[in-house]
Amino acid sequence: MTVNQTEMHPTRWGDPARARALPDEARGLVEMVFGVDDRPAVEHPALAPSALTPELVAGLEEIVGVGHVLTDDETRRLRTRGKSTPDLLRARVGDLADAPDAVVRPADHDEVAAVLAFAVEHRLAVVPFGGGTSVTGGLVARREGFAGVLSLDLVWMKRLLSVDHVSMTATLEPGLRGPEAEALLAAEGMTIGHFPQSFEYASLGGFAATRSSGQSSAGFGRFDALVVGMTVATPRGRIDLGTAPANAAGPDLRQLFLGSEGTLGVITSLTVRVRPVPAVQVYECWRWSSFADGATAMRTLAQSGLLPTVLRLSDESESAINLADPAAIGGEAATGCLMVTGFEGEPAAVEAKRAAVTTVFEGLGGTYAGTAAGEKWAHGRYDAPYLRDSLLDAGVLVETLETATFWSNLDRVYTGVKAALEAALGQPSLVLCHISHVYETGASLYYTIAAKETDDPVGQWRAAKAAASDAMLAAGATITHHHAVGTDHLPWFEREIGPVGVSILRAVKADLDPTGVLNPGVLIP
């Protein structure tokens, strides 16, 4: 695993060195399905000047030090918004209207607390910034009523603070990106094992603040389930949570901050469960005659305690694209639905689990499709976002969205959301789906769409997203299983939690952040 410390491209995903044009073959396919419509991005979008006065800059420098308050265009550009398709589309045409006025880089909890106090005193909005991979508008603070917007960049808070080899926990700072945290823990023979597709750039603080889910979907999927403790800086003061592996000491206050998206406080350290680096990793594939049959097989595993570490099932449309190279799955006709299973751990345990899963799947009519396609998936798991940029270059709108529901409701949600997306996007478009995470009681559905861009691709996507979000709630599903609320999901989130839920959130916000400086406009309806 390489430790990647490069900044992301301001208008694209990931490492600028890995940006690439659409390969000729894919370009041919795009031409056939959508028609290529080259849309080059503005390379250095212009910014409005920083609204911060020299006095405010000097005041912040007193807290974090000279050189740690940055108001130059390049740094502000890199801290503008997240990496959703609308974020990229707006940046690509030169719209960086949400740029912060300054990027402030604290070194530790006390500096974070002091910046918050300064922000309260001077009415500055504060946007905690981890990896900048938000896909729901979580980094777009409302500016009205504030003297300026600060990006509170946690890039210097990257220490492994302690490791408890007996309890198998580690305490780390929030600014560590996925690979950085894993590299520090690997030196201790340990891993967190949380691998979302954004792993290469997203931070531990961001994982906690958004309750993200990794691709080890059935094993160490949810980050919130890995967190045993945390320290949070709030405008009200510091709170340390997590004194035991479990307790009955009232409601679990950790849950208030997990998923709080920088609106209630800044997470300044996290204690997480760790495990030994797995000795063996095996990824393989199964084929099912239908999405429903594959889903039944997943549910059977989940409800019999036999889940592998990775388990995902593509629907017919997504499988058809994944199976474009039949040789990759053993040369047979590529029909039906493709499932990836991944097993990690000690060799004997991995073999025992594989054998048990094989017995269940064979009994349910699954066809084993070998390890090649599974290994290919594991190898290329972080590449797809680069392809999104290449497709945007060619005038193809690409975006993802996700939801979750109970097993008994899965088909209703699957068909309802798919139909809503297809109707809203019109032709030519593709709507692909996979089951990304499974539980005993239900599963998450993850959709990928591709459509020919109109003259207003942001509006085009907003309309499709609204239709899909309405369909989710109409079918009784959640507005988000793991992308969080941000600003994009707010209207549906409000409907999902109802007036009493809204009232609770507002009361907590009013208490912890009475002047509302933390991420105004995000999460709290």
Ligand X SMILES: Cc1cc2nc3c(=O)[nH]c(=O)nc-3n(C[C@H](O)[C@H](O)[C@H](O)COP(=O)(O)OP(=O)(O)OC[C@H]3O[C@@H](n4cnc5c(N)ncnc54)[C@H](O)[C@@H]3O)c2cc1C
- Could you list the residues that contact ligand X (CB under 6 A)? 13, 82-83, 127-135, 138-139, 154, 174, 196-198, 202-203, 205-207, 209-210, 212-213, 215, 261-262, 266-267, 385, 482-484, 519, 522
Q: By C-beta, is 179 or 196 nearer to ligand X?
A: 196
The sheet with strand 169-172 has its strands ordered as 160-164, 169-172, 266-273, 227-234, 237-241
Task: Provide the b/e sequence for 102-126 (b: ≥16 CB within 10 Å).
Answer: bbbbbbebebbbbbbebbbebebbb
Task: Provide the b/e sequence for 286-302 (b: ≥16 CB within 10 Å).
Answer: bbbeebebbbbbbbebb
Give me the least distance between CB of 81 and ligand X, in Å please: 9
Q: By C-beta, is 118 or 207 nearer to ligand X?
A: 207
Query: Rounded distance, CA 450 to CA 248, Å?
Result: 47
Contact indicator for 196, 213 with CB cutoff of 8 Å? yes
3-state SS, residue 279 = coil
Q: By C-beta, is 308 or 521 nearer to ligand X?
A: 521
Q: By C-beta, is 134 or 341 nearer to ligand X?
A: 134
Q: By C-beta, is 361 or 492 nearer to ligand X?
A: 492
Give me the least distance between CB of 437 and ligand X, in Å please: 9
383 C-beta neighbours (distance < 10 Å), count: 12
Phi-psi region at 137: left, alpha or beta (left = phi > 0; alpha = psi -120 to 50): left
Query: Rounded distance, CA 372 to CA 109, Å?
Result: 46
Give me the least distance between CB of 363 and ligand X, in Å please: 31
Give me the least distance between CB of 304 and ligand X, in Å please: 26
Q: Closest Cα partner for 156 from 177, 186, 187?
A: 177
Give me the least distance between CB of 165 and ligand X, in Å please: 26
Q: Closest Cα partner for 217 from 391, 389, 340, 386?
A: 340
Give me the least distance between CB of 207 and ligand X, in Å please: 5
Q: Closest CB to ligand X belongs to which residue? A: 206
157 C-beta neighbours (distance < 10 Å), count: 26
Give me the least distance between CB of 80 and ligand X, in Å please: 12
Tokens 């945390």 found at: 230
Give me the least distance between CB of 385 and ligand X, in Å please: 4
Q: By C-beta, is 315 or 389 nearer to ligand X?
A: 389
Q: By C-beta, is 329 or 378 nearer to ligand X?
A: 378
Q: By C-beta, is 260 or 336 nearer to ligand X?
A: 260
